[in-house]
């Protein structure tokens, strides 16, 4: 398709606001893709959902209708006028439900609430491990993945708050705590990517059931999810402080592995000394987001904000621009399952993969709030 250049074609610099960087990222995607073509094209999926939720944050600050309309045009492709929606038994497919909540609140159209309710109903019969942990996907029996708490958690707590279902708060907290129980490493403060109750997965330790590595983006998803969940979890919830303590420890672990020379983070977080490991930008943006948000909330001290600022500026220095002003974000890992060290470091790196553009927008919107605080 023929691209329409952003109104402002100049190369952005560190002197430009985080808001300007977020806007350019969103404008780049809007110019490149119609809503139906957002990759993976013609699919209701978390790739699009995470990006569009970042766009929602941009819209809330700027009030520019083009962003809300783009979100609505995407959502309307996948729900019927009666609110019917078809999804797989994958936690990934619940994540875009946050967009339904936004549109119901903004438009008042009943179809969005009905579609959200259909997604919410799936949680009542989700397949679980023996101790109640949600399977990440029905095709991965008895496996919990860190990604899953972001895919279902913020949607569920927002739904519970909007529609007075406090039981959803307990559900989400339980899932977050089970992940921490099974996947957290006390020594580093980081979390392993996945856990298999059955110990049958090729990557699963036969004693612990854990996958063997700390994959950057999965660690980032967990901290990102806790930070977002705490925004909506009632202050008096009996286990709120447990999540606060976990997020605080997460920030300590993440800061300890920030690369001293670049300010970024590695694909396999704790093995930056290996020559085949590489600096990955989607996890770096997620870590910046979590560090900044935890600092603003008083969960982490000012050094977390300092680490976030350094990481943010380090990410920006990696961004390139076309002559038409479009943004190019390199070194983004494609979608990835759990696996070995060799598996992670050999994963394909892409420029402008939606994982990285999405987390970049969230990072910029969080850094905008930090700058204003």
The domain locations on the chain are 33-118, 126-372
How do 320-321 and 143-145 pair as beta strands? unpaired
Reported as a pLDDT band with limits 50, 70 and 90, residue 39 is: very high
Average pLDDT over residues 5-26: 92
Distance CA 105, CA 359 (A): 24
Asked whether residue 72 carries a pLDDT value surpassing 70, the answer given is yes
What whole-number percentage of the chain has pLDDT above 70? 99
Average pLDDT over residues 213-219: 98
Reported as a pLDDT band with limits 50, 70 and 90, residue 1 is: very low
321 forms beta bridges with 327
Report pLDDT for 363. 98
Q: Contact, 58 vs 71, CB < 8 A?
A: no
Active site residues: 147
How do 143-145 and 194-196 pair as beta strands? antiparallel
Reported as a pLDDT band with limits 50, 70 and 90, residue 7 is: confident
Q: Could you count the other beta carbons within 10 Å of the beta carbon of residue 334? A: 13
Q: Contact, 333 vs 217, CB < 8 A?
A: yes
> Residue 277: left (phi > 0), alpha (psi -120 to 50), or beta?
beta
pTM for the complete prediction? 0.97
Q: Contact, 61 vs 364, CB < 8 A?
A: no
Please name the residues in contact with 155: beta carbons below 8 A apart, sequence gap of 6 or more: 94, 95, 97, 98, 101, 119
Distance CA 262, CA 224 (A): 22
CATH for 126-372 is: 1.50.10.10
Asked whether residue 306 carries a pLDDT value surpassing 70, the answer given is yes
């Amino acid at each position: 398709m023929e691209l329409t250049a952003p109104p402002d074609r100049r190369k952005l610099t560190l002197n430009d606001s985080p808001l300007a960087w977020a806007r350019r990222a969103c404008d780049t995607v809007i110019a490149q893709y119609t809503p139906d073509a957002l990759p993976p094209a013609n699919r209701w999926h978390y790739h699009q959902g995470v990006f569009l939720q970042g766009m929602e944050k941009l819209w809330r600050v700027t009030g520019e209708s083009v962003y809300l309309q783009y979100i609505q045009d995407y959502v309307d492709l996948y729900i019927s006028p009666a609110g019917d929606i078809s999804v797989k038994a994958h936690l990934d497919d619940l994540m875009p439900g946050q967009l339904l909540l936004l549109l119901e609140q903004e438009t008042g159209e009943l179809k969005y609430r009905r579609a959200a309710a259909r997604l919410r109903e799936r949680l009542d019969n989700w397949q679980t491990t023996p101790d109640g942990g949600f399977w990440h996907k029905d095709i991965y029996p008895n496996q919990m993945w860190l990604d899953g708490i972001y895919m279902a958690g913020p949607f569920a707590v927002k739904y519970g708050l909007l529609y007075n279902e406090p039981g959803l708060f307990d559900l989400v907290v339980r899932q977050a705590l089970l992940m921490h129980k099974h996947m957290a490493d006390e020594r580093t403060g980081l979390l392993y990517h996945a856990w298999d109750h059955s110990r049958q997965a090729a990557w699963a330790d036969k004693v612990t059931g854990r996958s063997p590595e700390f994959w950057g983006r999965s660690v980032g998803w967990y901290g990102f999810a806790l930070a977002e969940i705490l925004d909506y979890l009632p202050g008096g919830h009996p286990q709120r402080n447990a999540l606060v303590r976990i997020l605080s420890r997460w920030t300590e672990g993440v800061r300890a592995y920030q690369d001293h020379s670049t300010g970024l983070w590695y694909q396999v977080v704790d093995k930056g000394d290996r020559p085949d490991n590489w600096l990955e930008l989607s996890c770096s943006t997620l870590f910046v987001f979590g560090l900044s948000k935890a600092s603003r909330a008083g969960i982490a001290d000012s050094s977390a904000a300092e680490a976030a600022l350094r990481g943010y500026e380090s990410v920006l220095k990696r961004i390139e621009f076309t002559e038409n002003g479009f943004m190019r974000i390199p070194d983004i890992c494609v979608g990835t399952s759990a696996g070995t060290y060799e598996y992670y470091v050999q994963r394909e790196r892409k420029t402008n993969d939606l994982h990285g553009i999405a987390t970049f927008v969230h990072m910029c919107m969080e850094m905008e709030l930090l700058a204003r605080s």
